[in-house]
Amino acid sequence: MAVDRERVAALVRELLEAIGEDPDRPGLRLTPGRVADAYTEFFAGVGEDAAAPLARTISVARGPAPETRPSGAVMLRDIRFRSICEHHLLPFRGHAHIAYLPGEQVVGLGALPKLVDILASRPQVQERLGEQIADVIASSLDTRGVLVVLDASHECVTMRSGQQADVSTVTIAARGELAEPFARAELMALLGANRG
């Protein structure tokens, strides 16, 4: 389902009037269209199949490098993401860290950031976003375990009353063998290793 750009623009114009502004003044005249363009981008993941980027897998045993079968986790750190909080329609942004224990099938490394982008491009809450990422990976790939750690800054906290400009929120979602804290301890340590 595509964003109804014209309807968003009309509603933004109405919102400007509702807060006592003149949507026809020079500084605001183009704002409804600009917001509609931004929302088209911000909510591009609504209705998209989040599992689609994971559909093309690579056989470890029969793939291009069968001698390099991973014995441990595959981890991607610092996948940048941005989303819109569904409670206040304010942005939150941060980094996703994803690890999985592969079975016979792995996925190209570029697929995981695409998955994050699709799920983040919807009205979201951080806790659900992490759980959705973990669920899609666990159900789409041959994994023994999945770990998703999200570290994000929320403008509803950093810009509203009681501002906390430097606060971030960390959430963890885990599946399979990585659901046990002791099993994911090494991966959690790697997330903090070699940081600037």
- Compute the CA torsion angle 33, 36, 42, 44 (nearest 10 deg): -120
Rounded distance between C-alpha atoms, residue 122 and residue 166, angstroms: 25
* 88 labelled ligand-binding: yes
Do 137 and 115 contact (CB within 8 A), yes or no? yes
Give bridge partners of residue 98 from the DSSP assignment: 76, 148
Report the SS3 class of residue 58. Answer: strand
Query: Is position 95 annotated in a ligand binding site?
Result: no
Q: How far is CA 72 from CA 23, 101, 196, in A?
A: 57, 6, 25
Alpha helices in 19-154 (DSSP H): 31-42, 111-120, 126-140
What DSSP element (H or E) covers 156?
A: helix 155-158
87 is in an annotated binding site: no
Residues at the binding site for Zn(2+) are: 85, 88, 156
Residues at the binding site are: 85, 88, 156
